[in-house]
Structure 1
Amino acid sequence: MKSLFLIIAYLVAVTLPLILSWLTGGPPRPFLEELASGLGILAFSMVLLEFILSGRFKSISNGVGMDVTMRFHQVLARTALGFALIHPFLYQGTPSGGQRPWDPTRQLTITTDFSALSTGIAAYLLLPSLVLLAIGRTQLDYKYETWRLIHGIGALLIALLLLHHTVYAGRYGSQPVMTWVWLAMTGGAVGSLLYVYLLVPLRDKARAWQVTSVTQLTSKQWEVTLKPDGHSGLDYKAGQFVWLNLGHSSFSMKENPFSICSAPAAGPEISFMIKELGDFTRTLGQIKAGTAAYLDGPYGNLSVDGRTEPGVALIAGGVGLAPLLGILRQMRLTGDPRSVRLVYGNRVVDQIAYRDELGAQDVFYVLSDPPENWCGEKGFVDAALMDRIFSVKEFNEWVFVMCGPTIMMDIVEDHLIERGTPSHRILSERFNYD
């Protein structure tokens, strides 16, 4: 129900400028020119709403899930890009110059005022660059924090350029009512940035944390544990994640999303299972006890709290174990009566973390490169493995919670759907998004 409400709210918000433009506009023009204006209006409103779909607003991401929120963000960004790229090529009207409004009869479509056109041209060049950088960010050799800063500044610049272009070069945007609409929507987008990068850090500064321990789990995986510094801690559900800032100002851009691997029932301390990936995670072993930390969260709906399914299947790949470990710990600590089964995939045996704690009962270890004496599952977490571990009844009745590499999750999710698992019983969280 909440997903449907959010979709309707989005459609209303993105089409409102188009509807108001139609109500306040002048006489109709040729179809292609009206289509050009319509695509431009939709592209601009979609760009502005992308600020809200950034994943940093709990009312959205916690309601429908981070995977859905970010995939929606990606698809709509590319749709807006398509509309924007087509938009200028559909105009066929005769250019006109002179003082604005350049066309009192509302029959012409294009101004020759270069200052009005230049901002549109600049946005036209920046928008595809921003989308392509987002799609290829994992292949580019720069830090996550650098990409995030570029993405934020680029999006803000595009919004401001489009605002100027729409108001000063648009047939409909120059109408007083529409000018105020675009100013309000752009203000909302800019306000969302101020909330994320100013108000949230101010709040976090008053709720600092301290590092209590940093423990090496495997050659490339660490556990970082924090305790609240003068406050009661974080109200979260097992399986959720936060944006973690270690050793920097609360206003620093050096924060990253990490899943919580501890259980709420264990007390106020919070733990994270973090893998070295070549960025700041290379320095985890150098972090000392007492180091200040800040958390923004919790986010995500990768939680089985309140669900009524008779069993919980946890499907993890590598460091994707983190949120599922939190769920497993919470179920064990609270004496949850539901059946639970963990499938945990890695490449080699030395990558298995928390093996002593996990134990062997209802835990299936999977290695793609096992040693000769390996007695567990061999290969990958795939359809054949799922069929060996789960029955037809369990596919239909259990809730399946997944976190790990995209290829693993795509294979498992496709197989679950093929086996008849309802979509609302498949919860997933991916490592990254293009």
Structure 2
Amino acid sequence: MADKHRISFEPVDIEMEVGEDEKILDAAFRQGIHLMHGCREGQCSACKSFVLDGEIQMERYSTFACNDAEVEEGYVLLCRAHAFSDCTIELLNFDEEELLNSAPLQRIRTEVLEVVPHTHDIVGLKLKPVDPPAYEFKPGQYADLTIPGTDEHRSFSMATIPSTGDHIEFVIKKYPGGRFSALLDDGIAVGDTIELTGPYGNFTLKNGHVLPLVLMAGGAGMAPVLSLLRHLSETGDTRRIRFYYGARTPADLFYLDEIRALGERLPDFGFVVALSESAEGADALGVAAETGMVTEVVEAREPELHRSEVYLCGPPPMVDAALALAARQGVPDDQVFYDKFTTSVRDE
């Protein structure tokens, strides 16, 4: 049995136990401590922290997330880090509200209820929790789905909200050769069993916040933003809410009727699609559409972006461009929340 050590987190005064054979981030999830995280694969730096004392070694990681000079100074990625002594770690990014108040990590067996194509490369997957028959999470979070017949998993954001207890909905982009997404065409059928582990992610609405919301998404980034919208509509949120969705052509749009219906229940809601290749035929869809990248449309329409909370979700180029826009517009870091998909981990 692997040796166990104590981890003390500063400046939040939280302690936990970790085995040498488990990653520090995984040990935190196991004990109900919700540390900041993103990809959980050493690629995004969301869990970057600083070792004040103790011996830590990391598994393979991207030097873009934590470069050699930072590692020499004592920085680590908690999703790749193993402790080999008692340690004191300074958390650089944390949300005190969620540290000990997030939904616990759960492992459940689900049954496939529906596989439905939304566009030529976006598929909807609905799962029914079976054992246990309930699943706790927050709007905007994601889960790991085990690839049937393997021990591997892929991570996908949930489009549903907790009150929709009879099913969990995912929006998944298909990629050529994708180990999970390829099965959505031929391999995963209604009635099949899929193991789910979650919830993960910090792309959640913050209690008590009152600033206007600007939501930006592209591709399968629709899923967590739709979850947020469903929650905002259900709770009757009164803030100004603007949703910008980026796609190539009108044929790449989906969920338009539901977004329209959700918006009708919100007092100050606007929805705009940004079409990067062609807007031909968009008028017939009954939505406001502009030609260009979604970040270009937001920059033109949101001159007061710095006075909003900004939620970004989609492929890395879109999120990187949106983060650059937020920086140019002077949006404070604590008003920007993002989920950056990667093809190998998040939307495969």
Give the TM-score normalised by the residue count of structure 2: 0.68
Partner of 1:235: 136
- Structure 1 residue runs without a partner (length 5+): 14-47, 80-122, 136-154, 160-180, 186-202
Which structure carries more strand by proportion?
Answer: 2
Partner of 1:427: 337
CA deviation string 1:284-317 (max 9, x = no partner):
1332211112211101110114141242211001
1:289 maps onto 2:190 in alignment = yes
Deviation at 1:329? Answer: 1.4
Helix, strand or coil for the counterpart of 2:199? strand
Question: Which of residues 282, 306, 322 is equivalent to 1:396?
Answer: 306
CA deviation string 1:212-240 (max 9, x = no partner):
11111111111111112153411111100
> 2:334, 2:21 → 1: CA distance?
26
Q: Judging changes above 3 Å, is the alpha-carbon distance between structure 1 residues 269 and 73 closer, same or farther for their aligned structure 2 residues?
A: closer
How many pairs were matched up? 281
> 1:274, 1:56 → 2: CA distance?
28
Q: Are 1:214 and 1:223, in contact at CA under 8 Å, matched by a contact in 2?
A: yes
Partner of 1:258: 156
> 1:58, 1:235 → 2: CA distance?
15
Which structure carries more helix by proportion?
Answer: 1
CA deviation string 1:73-104 (max 9, x = no partner):
79789x9xxxxxxxxxxxxxxxxxxxxxxxxx
Q: Are 1:265 and 1:334, in contact at CA under 8 Å, matched by a contact in 2?
A: no
Note the 1:402-417 alignment, pairs <5 A. Answer: 402-417=312-327
Aligned AA for 1:379? Answer: G
> 2:185, 2:271 → 1: CA distance?
29
Deviation at 1:261? Answer: 0.7
Aligned AA for 1:386? Answer: V
CA RMSD of aligned residues (A): 4.0
Partner of 1:365: 273
Note the 1:97-246 alignment, pairs <5 A. Answer: 130-131=60-61, 182=84, 204=107, 207-245=108-146
Aligned AA for 1:428? Answer: Y
Aligned AA for 1:389? Answer: R
Helix, strand or coil for the counterpart of 1:242? strand
CA deviation string 1:62-81 (max 9, x = no partner):
4424269853379789x9xx
Q: Judging changes above 3 Å, is the alpha-carbon distance between structure 1 residues 388 and 183 closer, same or farther for their aligned structure 2 residues?
A: closer
Larger radius of gyration: 1
Aligned-residue identity in percent: 24
Helix, strand or coil for the counterpart of 1:350? helix
Q: Judging changes above 3 Å, is the alpha-carbon distance between structure 1 residues 62 and 315 closer, same or farther for their aligned structure 2 residues?
A: farther
Question: Which of residues 284, 290, 298 is equivalent to 2:199?
Answer: 298
Helix, strand or coil for the counterpart of 2:45? helix
Helix, strand or coil for the counterpart of 2:294? coil
1:51 maps onto 2:11 in alignment = no
Q: Judging changes above 3 Å, is the alpha-carbon distance between structure 1 residues 211 and 390 closer, same or farther for their aligned structure 2 residues?
A: same
Helix, strand or coil for the counterpart of 1:396? helix
> 1:67, 1:370 → 2: CA distance?
32
Question: Which of residues 25, 28, 45 is equivalent to 1:72?
Answer: 45
Q: Are 1:262 and 1:326, in contact at CA under 8 Å, matched by a contact in 2?
A: yes
Q: Judging changes above 3 Å, is the alpha-carbon distance between structure 1 residues 319 and 51 closer, same or farther for their aligned structure 2 residues?
A: same
1:332 maps onto 2:244 in alignment = no
